[in-house]
């Protein structure tokens, strides 16, 4: 049966409306100030453990944002150049801060994806380079808890790459409205650094804060530059 022109047009318009509404869903994500009375359960800084550095965003939380598992993801840009002279960095652990209003568990998966573009890099969400690694983030107390997720030694990068944290499930014990865990954030917003599940820059909607997600560097590999003498260069081109 051939559909009538007006019916087909209605279907097309409905589909277009759905596509146009997708970016608006990202804009509805609310970022609120963190209650200053909130208890903080933070891990020791990466520098005190490995003597190297952490890539991404670390520090003390000042804001929180709702999470929407099982289909929510945040991406964080990791730049090896931020670790000084390292040409290759070996990642050891992921750091992420969440706020809990009741003790419960948040299942996540972490992975790495390629970057795309020039200048303002963005995650290539469908080009995975490592992972996923699954973990259950369990809080035993209310407040903000910083979690550390161990990574395989194969997780090493030599160029800007994006760390992805997928919130893959919602646990019944903290699924009620007002009890859901929230993402802890820091009061800065640097464009081209963090992106949401839609691939939108977290800062593009005037967000006052950025997610506290980072990766610790367990080893810094410096590749020496091999310099050739002018004499050896002339020999090559005789």
What does the domain layout of the chain look like in residue ranges? 39-223
pLDDT surpasses 90 at 70:
yes
pTM metric for this prediction: 0.81
Model pLDDT, residue 222? 85
Contact (CB, 8 A) for 144 and 39: yes
Model pLDDT, residue 28? 65
- For residue 60, how many other CB atoms are within 10 A of its CB? 13
115: burial class by Cβ within 10 Å (0-12, 13-18, 19+)? buried
Specify the higher pLDDT residue, 16 or 186. Answer: 186
The per-residue pLDDT for range 83-113, each reduced to its tens digit, is 888 889 999 999 999 999 999 999 999 999 9
Q: What is the DSSP string of 153-200?
A: TT-EESS-EEEEEEE----GGG-STTTS-EEEEES---TTSEE-TTS-
pLDDT surpasses 70 at 6:
no
Specify the higher pLDDT residue, 224 or 209. Answer: 209
Q: Is 51 helix (H, G, I), strand (E, B) or coil?
A: coil
The per-residue pLDDT for range 157-205, each reduced to its tens digit, is 999 999 999 999 999 989 998 999 999 999 989 999 999 999 999 998 7
Using omega within 30 degrees of 0 as the cis cutoff, is the peptide bond preceding 132 cis? yes
pLDDT surpasses 70 at 133:
yes
Torsion, Cα 156 165 74 181, to 10 degrees, reads: -150
Model pLDDT, residue 107? 97
Tell me 201's DSSP state: B
Tell me the pLDDT of the chain averaged across its residues.
Answer: 83
Specify the higher pLDDT residue, 232 or 75. Answer: 75
Distance (Å, whole) CA 107 – CA 212 = 17
Model pLDDT, residue 119? 87
pLDDT surpasses 50 at 207:
yes
Model pLDDT, residue 26? 43
**Which of 28, 49, 57 is closest to 162 using CA atoms?**
57
Contact (CB, 8 A) for 184 and 212: yes
pLDDT surpasses 80 at 148:
yes
- For residue 91, how many other CB atoms are within 10 A of its CB? 25
Range name among 17-31, 48-62, 130-144, 184-198 with the lowest pLDDT average: 17-31
CATH topology of domain 39-223: Jelly Rolls (2.60.120)
Res. 51 pLDDT band, cuts 50 70 90: low
Contact (CB, 8 A) for 121 and 195: no
């Amino acid at each position: 049966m051939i559909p009538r022109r007006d019916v087909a047009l209605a279907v097309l318009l409905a589909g277009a409306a759905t596509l146009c509404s997708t970016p608006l869903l990202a804009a509805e994500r609310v970022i609120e100030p963190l209650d200053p009375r909130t208890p903080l359960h933070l891990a020791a800084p990466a520098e005190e453990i490995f003597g190297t550095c952490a890539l991404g965003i670390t520090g003390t939380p000042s804001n929180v944002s709702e999470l929407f598992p099982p289909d929510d993801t945040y991406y964080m840009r990791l730049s090896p150049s931020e670790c000084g002279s390292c040409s290759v960095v070996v990642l050891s652990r992921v750091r992420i801060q969440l706020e809990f209003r009741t003790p419960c568990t948040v299942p996540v998966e972490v992975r790495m994806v390629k970057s795309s573009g020039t200048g303002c890099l963005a995650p290539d969400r469908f080009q995975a380079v490592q992972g996923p690694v699954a973990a259950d983030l369990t809080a035993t107390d209310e407040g903000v808890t910083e979690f550390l997720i161990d990574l395989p030694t194969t997780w090493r990068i030599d160029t800007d790459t994006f760390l992805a944290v997928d919130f893959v499930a919602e646990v019944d014990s903290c699924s009620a409205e007002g009890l859901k865990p929230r993402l802890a954030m820091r009061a800065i917003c640097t464009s081209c650094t963090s992106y949401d599940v839609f691939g939108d820059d977290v800062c593009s909607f005037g967000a006052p804060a950025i997610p506290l997600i980072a990766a610790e560097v367990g080893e810094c590999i410096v590749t020496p530059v091999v310099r050739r003498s002018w004499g050896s260069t002339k020999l090559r081109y005789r």
